[in-house]
Chains A and B, each alone.
Chain A
Amino acid sequence: MGSPRHLVRAVVLLAVATAVRSAVAQSAAAAERPLGLPFALPPGPATWLLGQPYGNTTGAFRQRRTTYGASGGIHFGVDMTAPCGTPVVAVADGVVFSVDAMNFGSAPHNVMIDHADLNVASFYGHLRDRSPLTAGQAVRRGDPVGVVGDPGLTCRSRPHLHLELRDLAHARKFNPVTLIEADWDTLALASSLGTGFERDLDDPRKWQHLDDQPEARVGGPILNDFARPWPPDVR
């Protein structure tokens, strides 16, 4: 064992497995993750990076009864950090449902686009300026939606795009990782994910991965009010 012949066999097996996996995964992904990224620019330190992911983040846990209390206590969108003014594009073909409907949050400006064919809506929050789009307007995937802004309103505080995916009633909120085709594993490398997901010590494997997060619902119960959280609450 361990001869060159076996080494070659191992490498061939790996190559075949990788090719099979890649081909099947690509076709499956196209069907299962039908949306695109909200940026036309590729990610990187000068353009945009993954910030806080969707779901049971430690940061959301600490604000589960305040900032995130209205939708289950979890981070019900994905934050993508980018300089103010970075162009934001539509993730799929659709029709604009609203512009600057502040009942959806994410000031100073926002846009909601319905994608009826996909039974999902995309929401773009913390835009710097009012979007040039208007309610009822049709958009195509990749069309400009607006530009990145800052909830601190200064463009110096924490500029980022807050992206949500909702149902067409705009009440249920879905994990964008499961619907947007992207290399999320690589995006996670350069994120602030080091702060991690909050753990429920009664079920410590629950909701610990980017693509394994609960659905949130406007007005729904707080999902992460764990009896034994880790890390625990701070005072």
Chain B
Amino acid sequence: MSGAAAAARAATLYVSMLTTAMLVVACGADPVAPDDFGRPGDGSEIPSTADEAASPNGTASPNGTAFPNGTTPPDRAGVPHAVPLPTGLATTGDSAASRVAPIGQPGLPIRLTDGGCCVRPLWRADSRALWFIDRSPQGVTGLYSAGLDAPGAPTVLVTTTIGTFSPDQRWRIDLASGRTTLHRLADGAAFEVPAGGRSVSFSPDGARIAWQGSNPNASLERQVARIVVAAPDGTGAAEVAQLARGSLVDWLGADALLVRARETAESDIEVLWRQPLDGGERVEILRTQRLRNLLLSPDKRWLAYTVSGATDVDANGLWLAAVDGSSPPRKLEGLFGAYRWRGAQQLVIVPFEMGAPSMRLVEVDPTTLAARPLTDPATQPLRIANGDWSISPDGSHAAFVSAADRNIWVIALP
């Protein structure tokens, strides 16, 4: 047997045994409790830039694939829902996954899809399903859903329209080559906005949109991001900032943006500002060398970020800063890795532990920096592919694409 074949058989055995083990553990679990439905999520996204894509300076914002939150959006393409399964997802009514533990109890990871599936799933706002782009054997590409209440059940076609949505789902953002069109779902009205095929980011109140323009063919050293704000129908478009090698990070509220830029085009010092939209002065929040992976907490109070490759060696690591400047940024000593917010007040981290047989989740309180483990790698093995993981809007679960089988898995968090 070749090494590859042996490895493949071992991996198959592992997955099979893992599933068996989960079944053994799961059979006595309690029924799932009703969840906290209706918690708002963030269906908007911030367009990535060529700078981010080609260099490690990217924000940690979602990218290129954002979907509606909560209820299923209208499918104006008229394709019936709950039709053909995406490739490899055929399941039977007696599938193993249909008998695994009810979701909602801390425990072993639960596999939601089968056959090696999809990447970059996004949580539905009610935290009960994950949505992802896929294609059925019949050739229907669309947004499909895998529900937490029926792990392993056939995935369901939500819509054939691949687009992004405003957080309140009143608008759908269609992206075509060089064109950005916003559809008001209430009446079907469509407005083309001059975002050039980039997505837009909706303000928290849904009253405004922002996007950034740049020249993808310019060298990275010459990139200038032009930040534009407009009404969702495209009226009143006005440039609010030009940022040398910068980007729009997020909305800080209805009247201000969080933006970043290099101190100068040649500098490795990056500056983060609060950019008011009423014509007021830009306010600096922090500056540091080699700022990466900015992630704003849902309540806009905290900012998590990474510094790497700084000549000030002590500056390298994972940091937390209060956006209002009420306390100086603090480095998480001894804890570095990937991170996501769990609600407004907890930062979940997957520590960067090379060679560890299993990854693990740790939670940090940004106020006290107190950390506590969320998973035990000895009994809750997980290995994330592509750095592809997320926390549900209600904070009850983590989802990840498994490096072992490329399926979407979830794990209930304590």
Which residues of A are at the interface with B, using a C-beta cutoff of 8 A?
A: 1-3, 6-7, 9-11, 13-14, 16-18, 20-22, 24-25, 27-29, 31-32, 42-46, 48-49, 51-52, 57-60, 62-63, 66-67, 79, 81-83, 152, 154, 156-160, 183, 185-197, 199, 201-205, 208-210, 228, 230-235
Tell me how many residue pairs across A and B have CB atoms closer than 8 Å. Answer: 270
Q: Are A63 and B10 in contact (CB under 8 A)?
A: no
Q: What distance in Å separates the Cβ of B412 from its nearest Cβ neighbour in chain A? A: 16
Q: What distance in Å separates the Cβ of A12 from its nearest Cβ neighbour in chain B? A: 9
Chain B residues positioned under 8 Å from A187 (CB to CB): 354
Q: How large is the interface on B (under 10, 10 to 19, 20 to 34, 35 or more residues)?
A: 35 or more
**Cβ-closest chain B residue relative to A201:** B141
Given contacts A188-B386, A189-B384, A199-B133, contact A2 B292 (CB under 8 A): no
Which residues of B in the span 170-187 have a Cβ within 8 Å of any Cβ on A?
A: 175-179
B104 within 8 A of A: no
Write out, one digit per residue, whether chain B residues 278-289 have a CB within 8 A of any chain A CB (1) or not (0): 000000000000
How many angstroms between the C-alpha atoms of A81 and B63 in the bound complex? 21
Q: Are B317 and A45 in contact (CB under 8 A)?
A: yes
Chain A residues positioned under 8 Å from B141 (CB to CB): 201-202, 204, 228
Q: Among A190, A208, A233, which residue has its beta carbon within 8 angstroms of that of B352?
A: A190
Q: What distance in Å separates the Cβ of B354 from its nearest Cβ neighbour in chain A? A: 5
Given contacts A11-B379, A192-B55, contact A209 B406 (CB under 8 A): yes
Chain B residues positioned under 8 Å from A194 (CB to CB): 58-63, 293, 387
Write out, one digit per residue, whether chain B residues 393-409 have a CB within 8 A of any chain A CB (1) or not (0): 00000000001001000
**Cβ-closest chain B residue relative to A57:** B53
Q: Are A234 and B197 in contact (CB under 8 A)?
A: yes
Q: Name 6 A/B residue pairs within 8 A (Cβ), A-sorted.
A: A1-B28, A21-B13, A45-B316, A60-B53, A183-B356, A185-B403
| Given A3-B28, A62-B216, A195-B48, 10 new contacts (CB under 8 A) | A10-B22, A13-B24, A20-B14, A46-B316, A158-B55, A186-B355, A188-B387, A194-B293, A196-B65, A232-B178
Chain B residues positioned under 8 Å from A79 (CB to CB): 55-56
B234 within 8 A of A: no
Chain A residues positioned under 8 Å from B48 (CB to CB): 58, 195
B221 within 8 A of A: yes
Given contacts A6-B24, A202-B141, contact A234 B178 (CB under 8 A): yes
How many angstroms between the C-alpha atoms of A194 and B306 in the bound complex? 14
**Cβ-closest chain A residue relative to B402:** A185
Write out, one digit per residue, whether chain B residues 292-307 have a CB within 8 A of any chain A CB (1) or not (0): 1100000000000011
How many angstroms between the C-alpha atoms of A210 and B385 in the bound complex? 8
Write out, one digit per residue, whether chain B residues 196-238 have a CB within 8 A of any chain A CB (1) or not (0): 1111000000000000000011001100000000000000000
**Cβ-closest chain A residue relative to B336:** A45
Given contacts A57-B53, A195-B58, A231-B64, contact A14 B352 (CB under 8 A): no
Q: Are B58 and A45 in contact (CB under 8 A)?
A: no
Interface of B, helix, strand, loop or mixed by DSSP: loop
Chain A residues positioned under 8 Å from B309 (CB to CB): 45-46, 48-49, 81-83, 159
Chain A residues positioned under 8 Å from B55 (CB to CB): 51-52, 79, 81, 158, 160, 192
Q: Are A59 and B50 in contact (CB under 8 A)?
A: yes
Q: Are A42 and B11 in contact (CB under 8 A)?
A: no
Q: Are A195 and B63 in contact (CB under 8 A)?
A: yes
**Cβ-closest chain A residue relative to B289:** A156
Q: Among B11, B52, B178, which residue has its beta carbon within 8 angstroms of that of A233?
A: B178
Q: What distance in Å separates the Cβ of B53 from its nearest Cβ neighbour in chain A? A: 3
Which residues of B in the span 115-140 have a Cβ within 8 Å of any Cβ on A?
A: 116-120, 133-135
**Cβ-closest chain A residue relative to B358:** A18
Q: Are B221 and A152 in contact (CB under 8 A)?
A: yes
Q: Are A231 and B387 in contact (CB under 8 A)?
A: no
B267 within 8 A of A: yes
B268 within 8 A of A: yes
Q: What distance in Å separates the Cβ of B193 from its nearest Cβ neighbour in chain A? A: 12
Q: Are A43 and B354 in contact (CB under 8 A)?
A: yes
Q: Are A11 and B21 in contact (CB under 8 A)?
A: yes
Q: What distance in Å separates the Cβ of A78 from its nearest Cβ neighbour in chain B? A: 12
Q: Are B25 and A154 in contact (CB under 8 A)?
A: no
B57 within 8 A of A: yes
Chain A residues positioned under 8 Å from B178 (CB to CB): 232-235
How many angstroms between the C-alpha atoms of A51 and B198 in the bound complex? 23
Q: Are B17 and A14 in contact (CB under 8 A)?
A: yes
Given contacts A46-B316, A156-B268, A192-B292, contact A209 B386 (CB under 8 A): yes
Chain B residues positioned under 8 Å from A186 (CB to CB): 352-356, 359
Given contacts A45-B316, A190-B336, A234-B198, contact A24 B7 (CB under 8 A): yes
Q: Are B387 and A193 in contact (CB under 8 A)?
A: yes
B32 within 8 A of A: no
Q: Are B306 and A230 in contact (CB under 8 A)?
A: no
Q: Are A192 and B56 in contact (CB under 8 A)?
A: yes
Given contacts A154-B266, A185-B385, A234-B216, contact A44 B336 (CB under 8 A): yes
Chain B residues positioned under 8 Å from A21 (CB to CB): 10-11, 13-14
